Each structure stands twice: as structure tokens, then as C-alpha cells.
Chain A
Amino acid sequence: MKVLIKAALAAGLALSAAPSFAQDAVRIGALYPFSGGLALLGDESFRGLELAIEERNAAGGLNGRKIEMVRGDAVDPNQAVGEARRLTSVDKVSVIFGTYSSSLSLAATQVAELAGVPYFELGAISDPITERGFKNVYRTNPTARIFANRMVDAVAEAVAPALGTDAKSLKVAIIHEDSLYGQTVAGYQQARAKEVGLNLVETLPYSAKSVDLTPVILRLKSAGADVVLQTSYQNDTVLFFRQMKEQGFKPKAVMGAGGGYSLRDTMQAVGPENMEGALNVDFTQYRTNPKAAPGIEEFVKKYEAKYGTAPRSGHSLANYMGAKVLLDAMAAAKDLTAPAIREAVMAVDVTEGTTATGWGAKFNEAGQNERATPFLMQWQGGELVTVFPADAAVAEIKTGIGAE
């Protein structure tokens, strides 16, 4: 009985203490997968947001008000919906930041839209997130279509000049794993290749669970493909590089769409000498010229000071940049209601090359940032270095695959 009374008293105290604490603080939701299979990169994404908010609080918060984060753990789309409901109705956050994974974002944004709470997407790439006519969903990072366009454009703007030929004379092939990710990116690539008039000789889907990609490679070989664009996970990337070497297929360039291409493990499994020269389009990574991405070095320092390791991927940086842009917008808004925030976000105008990712920020009516373009990177000597565009590059683009 005594215990019960104590508990009740404690609860009462907590309740009475809560409003006075929240009065001057701005509450924001942080919705990421913190546990389960996506947890590693979900947490990595969250760290970028956390650093941006700490920085903001240290500089006096949002117009003098402290920012307080409420975490939501979205393991799968169902839980993303549940946690988004909790954040909007129980915790009454002003805005939600998230989400790393597209399927989680697609689910959670629906809840936020219905509740009229602005949703800031900092990392998920699926295009439909900002194509459903929602009024309160904004995204700072590039989408799958922008990835695909960058890959196709890079063939003309970076690969062909490096080879000293005309892009139209290159035979381009698209290969991709056949789940939603690969299908989406490859679809946009095909459209863009047609638009810019590239000579597309093959489009080959395959299962990411294939144990043998030799048929794919022999098809590419018979078609005489010069440039291969691949959208893939990890296992199939490893298999492709190994079997390409075994079958003696040496295209002039191979380019990945992030995914398996960005991971150090992939490079190690394939071997740095075999991965040499592989091109990759992804969120900004750390071997990027700081002149084109001012603040990138400071970000790494802050990150290391707080978490004791180097950043595990570019996700934290992308989230950091997005959070900073949107916190500035919130500070500029006349209040924190959804219409006022929309007005402020629409007024954002950040030129390219002035943020830590090198991206700019200008939102269209749908809420998508139109100034976010991923860079072209290349594996050189076991490191993933930015090679294009020139002002972001730290190394010259090389041609060919595999060390000579």
C-alpha cells in the first residue's frame, strides 16, 4: 500500500512537473529504426539529426527556446505508423524528423499528414514519398530518380570525356536486381538514357539471390557493353565483380547506385585490386573536397568527439545537412503551426556548395528539395573518393575496371 501511494505521488509530481518543463521547449519527433535489421544505418542517420540539434541548442536553440527530442522506434511499417501516432497525439511534437528507410517513411508520413504535423524526411529515396500530394511532407535528400539521372548524365559528362570519346558512341547496359529498389532506379535510368540519346544495348534484371551471374555477364559481353550501370545489394555486387573477372569481361566503366557499391565490406570481399575503378553514385561521402562541402570536416570532428568513432556511412552527414536547413526554416517561421512552417520551408533558398553535403536547398510545391544531387565517386586504392563534379572532386576519374 505504502509503495502504491509513493508511486502515485511520484506520478503526480511527474505530471505536474511536465508542463512547466515543456512550456518553453520545442518538442520534435525523431522517427528512425533504432532496433531490428535496419538499426545500424537508422541509428547512423539519427546521429546526424542529434548533432544538428545539439549544435542548435548550444547556439541558443530555436529563437531562445530549447529543442527537445522525442524518439520513436520504427522497426517496420506497422510500428512506424504506431510511433508516428504516439508522437503526434500523445507527445504532441511540432514536427517529425526521419526516417532512413523508404517503406517506413511512406507509412509514417501518412499519419503525420492526417494529423497536420510537418514531416521532414532526411534520408529515404523513394520518389512517391513526395509525390502523393501531401501538404506537410518535405524532403532534403535526393530521390531515386535523381540518382538514376545522375548516373546516366555522368556517362556523358564524366565517363565519355575521361575515355576521350563521344557519349553516343558508347554502348551502355543497365543491370539491376529485380526487387522494388532495382526496378525503380532502372526504370528511371532507361527513361533518362532515352531522353539524352544514349545507346542502350541491354537492360537485364536478375534476382539478388542468384548464385550465378555468368549468363548476365556473357550477355553483356556479346552485346559489347562499354559502360555497365548496376543497381544492386551486397551479395550480387560481389558476385558480379568476381565473375566479370573470371569471364574476362572488361568494360570501360562500371557504375553502381549506392547500395552494395558503397560498403567497405563489398570492396574487401571483391578485393581492392578488382574493385579499382568502380564508379558509384551515392549520398556525399567523407572523401569529398571541403571547398564544395564546407563544414564536412567539422562534422567529422564533432561526430568523432561525441561518438568516439569515425562516421560509419554518409547517412549521418545527409541527415545533419537536412536537419540544419529545416531547423533554420523553423527558426524563420512566424510560429510552429503547419501553415507557417510550410511558408518558411517554401522560402528556403540555399545555394549549392554551401552545406556540409555540398547540396543546396530549394523546395518545390510537392516538398522535394530540387538542389540535392548526389556526387559521382570511384573506388581508388581501397578508398571511395569523389571524382565528379570537378569542384567536389578530390581525385581524377580513372577509366577501366581492375588494377592493371
Chain B
Amino acid sequence: MDVLVQLILNGIMLGSMYAIISVGLTLIFGIVRVVNFAHGEFLMVGMYAVYLLSLHLGLHPYVSAVPMVLMLFAVGALVQRFIIQPLLGADEHIQIFATVGLSTALINLALLVFGADLYSVQAPGVRQPLSIGGYTVLHAQVVMLASALVLVAGLHLFMQRTPLGRAIRATAQNRNAAQLMGVRVDRIYVIAFGLGAACVGLASALISPLFPVTPTIGTYFVLTAFVVVVLGGMRSMYGAFLGAMIIGIVDSLSGYYIAPDLKEVVYFAIFILILIFKPTGLFGFGRGTE
């Protein structure tokens, strides 16, 4: 029983990490309709930046969250403006190749600049275990969960209450109609891609104290993030959040009760079953979404 509760707690904490990354990926996919294969590498770039800020300016990773969100927003916006936008009219595959190419280029650039060694960010106190009724969570994990909740709530308010949010939703629902209503679709795409990347900026600041950064660190997270996005219904932020929690808990439980090397098998099996029986994802809005 004790172990079960600890595993579920751990799964929720893991889930909140996946949630922040996946919400960003969902924004990009749901609005710009581009599968961003470079998403994990954005995370890697963010984590190196957090490391450099901490090394040279002594910034605590959590303080670097602010510059990271801004920096990754800019990176995302630039990628959309100069790489994706020229390809928007092109075949879907071309866009995929563009993001895959970007991902490979970024990994190798990091190898060139930083080498294959790992770098670890110092963040005093953040890794301290917090004991709640005999169960262990880290301060960093609690911050992660709180941030994931605030992020989803914040994005919800932004999408529902602001004119820009409404324009983004309109563009996501029907690009042509939105354009006819006077929405500058190109600009919306740049903003949406930027927002999606900014989520990764937040994630990079929060993940840095937990994992050392290497050129391939993005690949550790991004495959799971894709599963989460599809599980959540491709375009639903809330779906992505809940999907991330489910994957986090399944990951944690199957790693213990089945076998650590089979946990991917378990959640990919769930993933395939969902694709067979509910192709729109657990929280998809039915066929009308496409």
C-alpha cells in the first residue's frame, strides 16, 4: 500500500513534467497544424541556456524561468516565421522534414559546442526530499506540479478572455473563416508557435535541477510527449494535461509492478488500444475537430 501511494505520487510528479512539455506541443500542433519534431531540442537549448546563466551569472534555475520563457518564445516565433511559414503551402511531409532537420542540426550543434559530456546545474535546496506522511516528493517536483496547473489555468484564461486568445482559437477552428473575419493568420501562427516553445522554456528551467543536460536530452522526453498529445486528443490543452498525468502514473506503476524495461511497452499498448477504439484521443472533440 505504501509503495502504491508513493508510486502514484511519483507518477503525478512525472506527469506534471510531461504536461508542461506536451501542452506546448499541443498548442503548436492544434493551431499551426505542424508536428514539431524539434520540440525536444528546444528543451535541450533551454537547458543549456539555464546552465550557462547559472554558471556565469549565478542565476538560480527558477529565476532563469523568466528569460527562458522569453528566449524560447523568440526562438519559436523565429522558427515559425523563417522555416515553417515559407513551407505552409507545401506538403505536410515537407514541414515534418524541416522540423526533423532542425532537430538533427540542433543536436549536432550542441555536440560541437558543448561536447558529449553532461553538465549539471547547481540548485541548492531544490532536490531536498519533502516528507509528507512518510511519502517522499522533492521540492522541485512540487514546484513542477504547481507550475503545470498555473500554466494550464493561465493559458485557459488567455484563450477564453483576451481578444488575441479568441483570435487564436478562431484560427485553430477554421483558418479561412478567421482570415475572412480579419484575423491576421500568419501573425497568429507566429505567436502560437512562440507560445508552444515558451512552454518548453518554462520546462527547461524546471527540469534543469532534476536532470543533467546533454545534447540528446530532448529525445528522452519528446517521444512520450507525442504519445501524450495524441492521447489527449491532439488539440486539447486539458486533454494533454490529463493525458500526461495518465502516462506519468502508468509509467510509474508499470515500472514497478511489471518491469522497468517494459514500461514503454505498457503505455504504447494503451496508446495503440486508444487509437483503435477512440481514434480522436481520450479527450478529442469527435470528428468535427478536423
Q: Does B181 contact A (CB under 8 A)?
A: no
Q: In the assembled complex, how far is the CB of residue B20 from the closest CB belonging to chain A, in whole angstroms?
A: 13
Q: Does B252 contact A (CB under 8 A)?
A: yes
Asked if A222 and B3 make an inter-chain contact with CB atoms under 8 angstroms apart, the answer reads yes
Q: How large is the interface on B (under 10, 10 to 19, 20 to 34, 35 or more residues)?
A: 20 to 34
Q: Which residue of A lies closest to B262 (CB)?
A: A205
Asked if A246 and B127 make an inter-chain contact with CB atoms under 8 angstroms apart, the answer reads yes
Q: Which residue of B lies closest to A265 (CB)?
A: B117
Q: Do A235 and B6 form a contact, CB below 8 Å, given A204-B260, A209-B220?
A: no
**Which residues of the other chain, A, contact B129 by a CB distance below 8 angstroms?**
246-248
How many residue pairs at the A-B interface have CB separations less than 8 Å? 82
Q: Which residue of A lies closest to B252 (CB)?
A: A215
Q: In the assembled complex, how far is the CB of residue B118 from the closest CB belonging to chain A, in whole angstroms?
A: 6
Q: Which residue of A lies closest to B261 (CB)?
A: A205
Tell me, in angstroms, the Cα distance from A234 to B264 when the chains sit together: 21
Asked if A215 and B261 make an inter-chain contact with CB atoms under 8 angstroms apart, the answer reads no
Q: Which residue of B lies closest to A234 (CB)?
A: B118
Q: Which residue of B lies closest to A260 (CB)?
A: B118
List which A209-231 residues lie within 8 A (CB) of chain B.
209-216, 218-219, 222
Asked if B120 and A235 make an inter-chain contact with CB atoms under 8 angstroms apart, the answer reads no
Q: Does B28 contact A (CB under 8 A)?
A: no
List which B188-246 residues lie within 8 A (CB) of chain A.
211-212, 214, 219-221, 224
Asked if A218 and B211 make an inter-chain contact with CB atoms under 8 angstroms apart, the answer reads no
Interface of chain B: mostly helix, strand, loop or mixed: helix
**Which residues of the other chain, B, contact A238 by a CB distance below 8 angstroms?**
118, 120, 212
Our pick among B111, B256, B264 for the contact of A215 (Cβ within 8 Å) is: B256
List which A259-318 residues lie within 8 A (CB) of chain B.
265-266, 268-269
Tell me, in angstroms, the Cα distance from A214 to B261 when the chains sit together: 13
Q: How large is the interface on A (under 10, 10 to 19, 20 to 34, 35 or more residues)?
A: 20 to 34
Tell me, in angstroms, the Cα distance from A205 to B265 when the chains sit together: 13
Tell me, in angstroms, the Cα distance from A215 to B260 when the chains sit together: 7
Q: Does B136 contact A (CB under 8 A)?
A: yes
Residues of A within 8 A of B (CB): 37, 40, 178, 204-207, 209-216, 218-219, 222, 234-235, 238-239, 242, 246-248, 265-266, 268-269
Residues of B within 8 A of A (CB): 3, 6-7, 10, 14, 17, 111, 116-120, 127, 129, 136, 138, 211-212, 214, 219-221, 224, 251-256, 259-261, 263-264
Beyond the given pairs A215-B255, A215-B260, 4 more chain A to chain B contacts, judged by CB atoms under 8 angstroms and listed by A's residue number, are A206-B260, A210-B260, A211-B14, A268-B120
7 closest A-B pairs by beta carbon, nearest first, are A215-B255, A206-B260, A269-B120, A205-B261, A215-B256, A178-B261, A216-B260
Residue contacts A-B, CB under 8 angstroms, 28 given: A178-B261, A204-B259, A205-B259, A205-B261, A207-B260, A209-B219, A209-B220, A210-B220, A211-B221, A211-B224, A212-B255, A213-B260, A214-B7, A214-B252, A214-B255, A215-B7, A215-B252, A215-B256, A215-B263, A216-B260, A218-B6, A219-B260, A235-B118, A235-B214, A246-B136, A247-B129, A248-B136, A265-B117
